[in-house]
Amino acid sequence: MGNATSTPAQPLIARLRELADVERARREAADLAVTEAERVLQETQYIQRVAAERHAAVLATVEAAEAYAGQQAQGASDTVSHAEQTEQVATDRTASPSASGRSLKHLVVDALNVGEITPLTLIYERVREVRPDSTASAIRAALATLHKKETVEIVRRGAYRLLEIPEGYRTDI
């Protein structure tokens, strides 16, 4: 009797094993698809980060070009009189008294936090809150000077880190 029941069950067991193999193959294919999707997601996120950095660099270049073009146009046309310029500077200084005695390097240091990575666009923004007439090239020149003095580290293109507060830096001005 044991032989009679095992013989008809063999095709059923074989079919169930085939189904198990098919389902295992589907699961493995799904696992591979998930792995591939995760890889594509990581690659896309990397591309997104690179694009954001490049965008920031292009914006900085555009700002520098606009500032340069504005300086040339201002020098060529001389539409604003010297008295109006003096009045504007006086208004700027009364609007932000701390900006009057601060060098651009000090304003750049103020825009950074020790040990934190700060994007260049944020540095521009913070410096221009205090001194709106600051050009991008002047801010980058101040950053380059601080980098030469090993006060600021260039982490990657368009990103800086303040390593230490420079000697002689005063916060009471």
In the prediction, which pLDDT does 113 show? 87
Q: Is 100 among the domain residues?
A: yes
Whether 87 shows a pLDDT value over 50: the answer reads no
* Most confident listed range (38-47, 58-67, 164-173): 38-47
The sheet with strand 159-162 has its strands ordered as 117-119, 159-162, 152-156
In the prediction, which pLDDT does 48 show? 87
pLDDT-based confidence at residue 96 (cuts at 50, 70, 90): very low
Domain holding 6, by residue range, is 2-162
Determine the Cα–Cα distance for residues 142 and 152; give it in Å rounded to an integer. 10
Q: Is 108 among the domain residues?
A: yes
Q: What is the mean pLDDT of the chain?
A: 79
Q: What is the pLDDT of residues 104-162, one digit of tens each?
A: 888 889 889 888 999 999 999 999 998 888 888 889 988 988 888 888 988 888 899 99
Q: Is 75 among the domain residues?
A: yes
Count Cα neighbours of 95 within 13 Å in the Cβ-side half-sphere.
11
Going by DSSP bridges, is the β-strand pair 152-156/117-119 parallel, antiparallel, or unpaired?
unpaired
In the prediction, which pLDDT does 106 show? 86
In the prediction, which pLDDT does 75 show? 60
Q: What is the pLDDT of residues 58-82, one digit of tens each?
A: 888 888 888 788 776 666 555 444 4
Q: Is the overall model pTM greater than 0.75, yes or no?
A: no
Closest CA to 139 of 114, 168, 160, 156: 160
Q: Is 172 among the domain residues?
A: no
Q: Is 171 among the domain residues?
A: no
39/7: higher pLDDT: 39
pLDDT-based confidence at residue 52 (cuts at 50, 70, 90): confident
Tally of domains in the chain: 1
Q: Is 170 among the domain residues?
A: no
